[in-house]
Amino acid sequence: MPDLAAALLEQQPGSGYPHRHPLPYPAEQFIQRPRISSAWVAEIDERPVGHIAISTPADPARLEGGDADVVRAWERGHGRPHDELGEVAVFFTATAARGTGTGAALLATAVESLREQGLAPCLDVVPTCTAAMRLYRRAGWHEVGRVRPGWLSPQAPDVIAMVLPAGDGGAR
């Protein structure tokens, strides 16, 4: 976990992810969230260079403001309730892994797992994370709304809620 946390923090200045920098808690806590159901780590020469996780979104009736709006946008985008959605979360690659296909492979793995579980893939992204935006759009993800979750800083642009339609593989 320490090497993975170091990779997360190392790539942040270039990617803008995580949006909050510095984090208000240890990077390990950012990576290991309570709602995560599965996670994958990519390695090069036995060193972690990427991470992706999946979870089921919380019931929007139990969330407040923009946090509920994200889930509602996903529900509308897929035409399915929150408990039939699968969220892609905590997705990053170390700077050294950029351009190697590591991010696309991680994303495809997460999407495949969600599809196997019968869950409709969704995610949110801050539009200033331009490399992530390019990857998602190239992989067939569609914007279904712009929202302001509670964790977003006042100066940041709205978060983009995205869904991956049925039949698309998630990464190319």
Reported as a single tens digit per residue, the pLDDT across 139-161 is: 999 999 999 988 888 888 999 99
CA 155/CA 169 separation, integer angstroms: 34
Domains in the chain: boundaries: 2-163
Containing 146, the helix (H) or strand (E) segment is strand 142-147
DSSP H helices, 1-152, are: 2-15, 27-31, 65-78, 102-116, 130-138
For domain 2-163, give its CATH number from 3.40.630.30, 3.40.50.2300, 2.60.40.10, 3.40.50.740.
3.40.630.30
140, 107 in Cβ contact below 8 A?
Answer: no
- At 2-40, the pLDDT tens digits run 899 999 999 888 888 888 777 888 889 889 988 899 999
Please state the pTM of the whole predicted model: 0.91
